Structure 1
Amino acid sequence: MDEEPSGPAGGEPCPPVPGAVSAVLIDDHPVVRAGIRGWCAAAAEPIRVLAEGADVAVALAGPGREADVVVLDLYLTGETPAYTEVNRLVAQDRKVIVYTMRDSQEAALTCLDLGAFTYLTKSEGERHLVAAIHAAAAGRPYTPPGLAGAFGSDRSPGRPTLTPREIEVLLEWFQCESKAMVAESLGLSVSTVNTYLDRVRIRYANAGRPANTKANLVARAVQDGLISLDEL
């Protein structure tokens, strides 16, 4: 029998807490969801779990559609990775953290190419998952150790050729809190900064590796050797 999507512990959704980060959990193992739910509740900055279940539908309807972050197991049905589900969620501008048992460079890079926020293995545990949820909700890049290894060994084709100025603007943006600060630092207008960043996004999109968010651009830059993790 299919498991019905539900709020935490099969009950009502968590009550609203002003300013609190919220998440929806998608995993076909109830014990895994229970563990994540416990980590979220015990975090220094608690995370509200609005809904959970074994199917992506739990994130698309009811309280789950309001969650800031989607935590998604990549293998919900046997050996078939849930790339279609990742793509479906990303298409709706959801921030997706892929959380899986599989330590796979190919799977990690595929998920990022589809637009996932980050990719964590379950062996990386509580600290990294909680930190990734908070980072995703805030729009900050987050690269766990396993993903850093995948970046470092990636030799896939399709890397766009960026101009020196585009790279300069891109890297400056990674170090700044706003585009206005980039503009001031480089002696440009904010409009010009936006133009350079739009060009970079277009180049990645044309190469078949879209980067629609700042976190995705950071991932691409690390993946392509434009910046190291130590510089972030």
Structure 2
Amino acid sequence: MTTPAGRDSTADYWRIAIVEDHLLQRRRTEQLLHAQEGLRIVWSGETFPLLLQWIRTQSPATRPHLVVLDLVVERGPNVDPDALRDLIDSGVRVLVLSAMASPALVRRVLQAGVGSIVGKRDSEADIIEATWAVLQRGTWVTPELASVIAGDGSRPALSDQEQRALVLYASGVGLDAVAATLNVRPDTAKKYLARVKAKYAEAGREARTKIDLRREAIRDGLIDPEV
């Protein structure tokens, strides 16, 4: 038998863990994935810390290949993006199944490296397709996710270079270093930042200083507050 990329050769199925604090939603997700040939639910519970606690007791042969994860729970802490990044770095793939109540948190977990995010208003067919896409190390983008990534109407539409300049500068990098990183002249980097400030002003979000830019970049989920 040929083993799909990323799946160990000791089993002919993918191991799935589910984090969802609403029992009915969790049970339906279990049913939905269990019905797929080649998938097996190995753990299901209410919170991300409980999942991490369980994973620490598992061997590589029993750890999940994929975690289907709700970000925001009512009876416990929300997902910590740093802990999520550590889990992903260990080789576990993650598909977020979320109501997307916190766009900033969604953008932060995307930066942590999750395979994709499916909204709870998306169809069950979307959930299945996203699951298989992430297992095969692909990505999945729904219209709802695309709108979250783009931000709401109050988030300025920045070009790639403008956003890179903002992230670097708001993270504490000096103007000359920003220019060097972007491979442009310092006056060009300065123009990028001037355009960023103008676009935030047009959106009704004044950001005249470096501190202001950092505040707005954090608000839009572009940089980690701890950086």
Shorter-chain TM-score: what band?
0.5 to 0.7
Corresponding position of 1:140: 138
Unpaired segments of 5 or more residues in structure 2?
1-9, 166-180, 184-221
CA apart distance, 1:25: 0.8
CA apart distance, 1:80: 4.6
Q: Structure 1 residue runs of 4+, over 4 Å off?
A: 77-80, 154-158, 160-163
The question of 1:81 aligning with 2:75 is answered no
Q: 1:149 aligns with which of 124, 147, 150?
A: 147
Bigger Rg, structure 1 or 2: 2
Which amino acid is the alignment partner of residue 49 of structure 1? Answer: I
TM-score (norm 2): 0.54
Task: Look up the equivalent residue of 1:53 and give its one-letter code.
Answer: G
1:200-219 matches, cutoff 5 A: none
CA distance in 2, matches of 1:46, 1:128: 18
Residue 53 and residue 60 in structure 1: after superposition, are their counterparts in 2 closer, same or farther (change >3 A)?
A: farther
Deviation of residue 62 (structure 1)? Answer: 3.2
Match of 2:91, SS? coil
Aligned with 1:149: secondary structure? helix
Q: Distance in 1 between matches of 2:113 and 2:63?
A: 19
Spell out, residue by residue over 1:53-84, the C-alpha distance to the aligned partner (whole angstroms, 9 max, x if none): 22222344337952211111112355853124
TM (norm. structure 1) is 0.53
Shift of 1:22: 2.6
Partners of 2:21 and 2:75 within 8 A in 1: no
Aligned to 2:96, the other structure's residue is in SS state: strand
For 1:109-128, what aligned pairs fall within 5 Å after superposition? Answer: 109-128=107-126
Deviations 1:25-69 (A, max 9, x none): 1122332221111101223x4521122122222344337952211
**CA separation in 2, counterparts of 1:108 and 1:130?**
20
1:23 aligns with 2:2: no
* C-alpha contact 1:73 1:100 (8 A) present in aligned 2: yes
Give the distance between the partners of 1:77 and 1:88, measured in 2 at CA: 23
- Residue matched to 1:41: 34
Instruction: Report the Cα offset of residue 113 of structure 1.
Output: 1.1
Counting matched residue pairs gives 149
